[in-house]
Amino acid sequence: MKKLALLIMVLLIAGLLLVGCGSDDVTDDGTTTTTSGENQLIIGISSVPVSLDEQQISDYNSDRVASELYDTLLRFTDDSTDVEPGLATDWDVSEDGLTYTITLRDGVKFHDGTDFDADAVVYNFERFTSGEPVFAYADPIFDMVDSVSAPDESTVVFKLKEPFAPFLAHLAMTQFSIVSPTAAEESGIQDFGRNPVGTGPYKFVSWTGETEVIMERNDDYWGDKPNIDRLIYRFITDDNTRLNELEAGSIDIAVDPLPDSIAGFEAHSGFQILQEPGLHTWYLSLNTQVPPFDKAEVRHAFYHAIDREAIVDNILLGTGVLAVNFLPPATPGYTDDVPKYEFSPEKAKELLAEAGEENLTVDFWVPEGGSGMQSPDAMATAIQGDLANVGVTLNIKKLEWGAYLDQMFGDFPPEDQEMLLGQMSWISDNGDPDNFLYFLCSNTQWPPNYNSAYYSNDDFEKLIIEARFNPVWEEREPLYKEAQQILMGDLPYLPIDHEIITAIGREGITGFVIHPRGFFRTTGVTVP
């Protein structure tokens, strides 16, 4: 890598230039941004956030940025999806599992100076579930809730329609981050995502177009205050440019690096590789309600045709683990005792012939970057080549990430959905199997929710609903294992791999946490 060699030369001649200096750059729109060297952290991510309103977010690059601004009632520990106190300090669950009494932290203020209290929590619940606009996460997170009340300023009571095992984990999901009611009312639904106000460790400063979001330390934060003064998320959609900026010292951490670039940085003492296995699956979504993917033989044929092992070994290069199931292996209740689909072009051809679908031509939708999408172009090209080998022509069609999400999860009936075949990734929001199997596969979750395959199977549905409302894990687990077997037999989604979340940082940066859920925690970061 010529740029990396040049960087080494500069370091030898000029000393630790990247660590000691900061400079101002002027962007194309005239906005001045600051590069590395101050008491700040600059993170380069691969897509522009869709919004900074957590209740409207469905992708985890947006979540990575926005989550720094907010708190949730409960929070996940740094290295797992176990829950611990957040804005709530304590909770009590009734014996029948229907009433959750939440005790709130005293003395917390939103960034606009208004008080956080029980009325604010009730407001957030009502905002999230109002249906205007449709917040896609509202139904799967809270459809089991019958009512929410605030008997006093420090207590919130959730009453459920039925016992629901993952409810406490739902209260820790970033999608139910608590926003300032005053700010939300003043901005309105459309504008709040550009003017976010929470209670989190950082306060929003600015969002410059498709360039960056700047935050500053919240000195009044109730918890551990950040070590750094300023946090900047810079949007660099081109993979090579993001790494070039890391080499040049204009960012401190580059997220989602090209897999074939990691070894070069790993060998150089000026950088460190940061990795964490994620609760993630990269997959192809197939519209199962319309031809040709309404035929199981076609879906099975596509899966047999794709050399998934070659993608993992030759493209992902240690940043992904081969998938044999839709659920990530770290998910409780995961099983590999599911139908298997070996790489077999011959079997794929036989199945296509059985279905009467030889010489298919299908549009294959691919995003231009996007969170969790790993190497979308290279993976798309490999899949396109594999399908060509069995007589299927895939026409690659590309969309910008925000437009891509709007199309895949748009409120279309299946017959009007243009995106019959598209790439997608999902990272579990709470570590519970419900978050994959219900959110993505229930027949109640067709778009504008997240079942982009428009999948429906009554036997599968019965199992996941019974498991969803059973508080006893020993009884839930066999239901989920049976559901996984049905799902992988039907194959509405073609899981390719499970991502190992990867970033490259400057040497000497400490305290940067990659959570298995996919977001980052930066309050403990120190910079050299």
Contact 326, 292 (CB under 8 A): no
Give the number of other Cβ atoms within 10 Å of residue 270's Cβ.
18
**Alpha-carbon span 193 to 203, nearest angstrom:** 14
**What's CA 485's distance to the chain center, in Å?**
25
Per-residue confidence (pLDDT) for residue 17, from 0 to 100: 32
**Alpha-carbon span 337 to 352, nearest angstrom:** 26
Exposed/middle/buried for residue 415 (C-beta within 10 Å: 0-12, 13-18, 19+)? exposed
**Alpha-carbon span 134 to 150, nearest angstrom:** 24
Output the CA torsion sign for 8, 10, 11, 16: negative
Contact 67, 52 (CB under 8 A): no
Angle between helices 118-128 and 181-192 (to 10 degrees): 20
DSSP letters, 318-338, are TSEEE-SSSS-TTSTT--S-S
Task: Give Cβ neighbours of residue 188 (< 8 Å, ≥ 6 apart).
Answer: none
Per-residue confidence (pLDDT) for residue 22, from 0 to 100: 38
Three-state SS at 258: coil
Three-state SS at 26: strand
Q: Which residue's structure tokens are 């031809």?
A: 291
The angle at the Cα of 484, spanning 480 to 486, to the nearest 5 degrees, equals 115
Residue 486 token pair: 């049905």
Q: What is the pTM of this model?
A: 0.83
Report the run of H or E that residue 403 belongs to, with start and end. helix 401-408
Q: Using alpha carbons, select from 503, 476, 506, 489 the residue that is nearest to residue 21.
A: 506
Give the number of other Cβ atoms within 10 Å of residue 232's Cβ.
24
Q: Using alpha carbons, select from 89, 155, 93, 158 the residue that is nearest to residue 118.
A: 155
Per-residue confidence (pLDDT) for residue 384, from 0 to 100: 98
**Alpha-carbon span 522 to 200, nearest angstrom:** 12
Give the number of other Cβ atoms within 10 Å of residue 96's Cβ.
10
Contact 289, 508 (CB under 8 A): no
**Alpha-carbon span 254 to 245, nearest angstrom:** 8
Q: Using alpha carbons, select from 490, 491, 492, 483 the residue that is nearest to residue 459.
A: 483
Per-residue confidence (pLDDT) for residue 37, from 0 to 100: 52
Q: Using alpha carbons, select from 188, 180, 227 the residue that is nearest to residue 40.
A: 227
Residues 448-498: tens digit of each pLDDT? 999 999 999 999 999 999 999 998 999 999 999 999 999 999 999 999 999
Residue 207 token pair: 């969002």
Task: Give Cβ neighbours of residue 299 (< 8 Å, ≥ 6 apart).
Answer: 286, 288, 293, 490, 491, 492, 494
Ranges in the chain, pLDDT < 50: 1-36
Three-state SS at 148: strand
Q: Strands 320-322 and 74-76: what pairing? A: unpaired
Per-residue confidence (pLDDT) for residue 306, from 0 to 100: 98
**Alpha-carbon span 424 to 371, nearest angstrom:** 10
The angle at the Cα of 479, spanning 473 to 482, to the nearest 5 degrees, equals 140
